Amino acid sequence: MSDTDLGAMDAGQLRALFESGKASPLEATRAALERIERFNEAVNAYVLVDREGAETAAAASNKRWQQGRPLSAIDGIPVSLKDLTESVGLPARKGSLTVSDAPCERDSPPARMLREAGAVILGKTNTPEFGWKAITDNRVFGATANPWDTRLTPGGSSGGAAVAAALNMGVLHQGGDSGGSIRIPASFTGVFGFKPTFGWVPEWPRSKEATLSHLGPLTRTVEDAVRMLNVMGRYDYRDPYALRGQPADWGEELGQGIEGMRIAFSPTLGYARVEPEVAECVRQAAHRLEALGAVVEEVDPGFESPIRIFNTLWFTASLAVYREHSERQRRLLDSGLVADAKRAERLSALDMFYALRDRARLTESLEHFNQRYHLVMTPSVAVRPFPLHHDVPPGSGMRDWEEWAPFSYPFNLSQQPAASIPCGFTPDGLPVGFQLAGGKHDDARVLRVSQAYLEAYPPTFPERPNQV
C-alpha cells in the first residue's frame, strides 16, 4: 500500500482494506503510530503511547482477518482512551500528581468492550486534573495545544482526544462529557463529538458527579462515531446508572435524510452572549439545514440560565475530591479545582435540594419542548479558541469556564443526547461547531441529522499542527 496513506483513513476505509487483504491492521497501526511520532510533540495530545501493546494487538487482528473471522467492524482499528479511563496494563494518571503511575489492574467498560471487539488501543490522551475544567492542561503532563494554532487551547476536558481526532492520530477516540467535555473540544478543533443519552455508554468507576457524566466518541465522521458506539454503547452491570434500550445499530437512521425535521434554532438559549464570528457561522449552518429540507424555526426553549444549578453540583463534586485527599496531597491539586471546592463549603443541604429540584424542572421543560421540535440547535461554544494556560478568555472578565461554554452543560443536567458538528471557520481560520440536542433516547435522530449535514458540507482537517 505504498501509494495509500493508511494514517489518513477512517474506520470504514480501513475495514474495506482489511477485508480485501490490501492492507493489514498492523500496517494501519504503524501508520497511526507514525502520525503520533510526527505530530504529538507539537500538540501533546497523547500522554502515553503503548507501541508494544498496540503492535501485539494489531498482529493478533491480522490473523483474525486472514482467517475471515474478525471480532467486529472495528477489529484492528486504532483507538485511544482518555486518561481518566482505566485500562489493564496502562496507568491512568487522571492529570493529577496525587495519582500513582502504576498500571491499572482492571478495565473500564469502554476499554473492555473495545478490546473484546479487537480494536487496537494506542494509548491515553490528555485531560485536566480529574476532568474538572473545559481546557486541557495539568501539572503532570502540561497543556494540550490546538492543531489549528498551537498557541491556543483545544478546549477540554477531552482535549487530547479531540486533537488526536483532528490529526487522525488513531481513528476512534473515547472522551467523557460532564458539562461539555466532548462537545467543547470538538468545536474548538473542528471534529465531530457526541454525548449519548445518559447511561447508554457505561462508565465504571463512576466520576465524582456521576449523574452528569456521559462517555462518547470524538471522530472525524459520524459513521466512525456510530462504529464506536456500536461497541461501547452496550449495558455493563458494573455501572449502577447503566441503562438498557440502546439501538441495535446506533446508525439505524443514517441516510434517511432530514426532510420535514423540526429544528428549534436558539442562537443564545435566551441568555448567552456569543462572539459575532461564532454566531455567524452557526446561523449559516441553520440556513444550510433548512436548505437540506429541515423546518428550522428560531425560538428559545424558555428557561433561564441553569449555571447556579450546575455549579452547585460541580463545586460540591470538587469539594468531595478535595476532602478525600490528605493535607500533603491537597497542596498538589490544581488551584482552580481547590478554589471550586472552597466555594462549595458555603453551600447547604437546602442549596443542594433546590438544585436537584430545579434540575428536574429544567429536564421536564426540555423534554416538553422536544415534543414540539425534534431537535434543538445552538452554538456549541460561545467563543473562539483562546490562548493556552488560561481557564477563561483573557480580558473577558469571566471567572469560570461555564461562562464561556453556556450551551453544553444544560444538556448534561437534562441527560439528553447532544453533538457538536463542525460548521466552518471564523475569519481568522479557527473552527466553529454547532450543537444539536434531542430528547432522551433520540440519539439516532441526532446522529442522522449530523450525518446529513456533514455529508452535504464535509469538514476540513489540519494536515499538520499549525505552529505560528
Query: What percent of the chain lies above the pLDDT cut of 90?
Result: 99
> How would you classify the pairing of strands 295-298 and 262-265?
parallel
Q: Which residue shows C-alpha cell 446522529?
A: 447
Cell of 324: 478525600
Q: Each residue of 51-104: pLDDT tens digit?
A: 999 999 999 999 999 999 999 999 999 999 999 999 999 999 999 999 999 999
Q: What is the mean pLDDT of residues 416-436?
A: 98
How far apart are the C-alpha atoms of 59 and 66, rounded to whole Å?
11
Tell me the average pLDDT of the chain.
97
pTM, two decimals, is 0.98
pLDDT at 468: 84
The answer, yes or no, to whether residue 409 has pLDDT greater than 90, is yes
61: left (phi > 0), else alpha (psi -120 to 50), else beta? alpha
**Which of 1-10, 352-361, 388-397 shows the lowest per-residue confidence on average (mean pLDDT)?**
1-10
The answer, yes or no, to whether residue 3 has pLDDT greater than 60, is no
- pLDDT tier at 369, thresholds 50, 70, 90: very high
217 neighbors 251 (Cβ within 8 angstroms): no
Q: Each residue of 429-467: pLDDT tens digit?
A: 999 999 999 999 999 999 999 999 999 999 999 999 999
How far apart are the C-alpha atoms of 408 and 405, rounded to whole Å?
6
Backbone angles phi, psi at 193, to 5 degrees: -130, 140
Q: Each residue of 97-148: pLDDT tens digit?
A: 999 999 999 999 999 999 999 999 999 999 999 999 999 999 999 999 999 9
How far apart are the C-alpha atoms of 337 and 404, rounded to whole Å?
17
The answer, yes or no, to whether residue 406 has pLDDT greater than 90, is yes
- pLDDT tier at 2, thresholds 50, 70, 90: very low
Type and span of the H or E element at 122: strand 120-125
The set of residues, in sequence order, having a beta carbon less than 8 Å from that of 107 and lying 6+ positions away, is 86, 87, 88, 115
Active site residues: 82, 157, 181
Q: Identity (one letter) of the amino acid at 408?
A: S
The set of residues, in sequence order, having a beta carbon less than 8 Å from that of 381 and lying 6+ positions away, is 155, 180, 183, 184, 187, 188, 278, 404, 405, 407, 408, 433
The answer, yes or no, to whether residue 238 has pLDDT greater than 90, is yes
Q: Identity (one letter) of the amino acid at 410?
A: P
Q: Which residues pair with 376 in a beta bridge?
A: 264, 437
185 neighbors 193 (Cβ within 8 angstroms): yes
Query: What percent of the chain lies above the pLDDT cut of 70?
Result: 99
Q: Each residue of 199-221: pLDDT tens digit?
A: 999 999 999 999 999 999 999 99
Nearest Cα to Cα of residue 266 among 375, 150, 146, 143? 375
Q: Each residue of 339-363: pLDDT tens digit?
A: 999 999 999 999 999 999 999 999 9
pLDDT at 147: 98
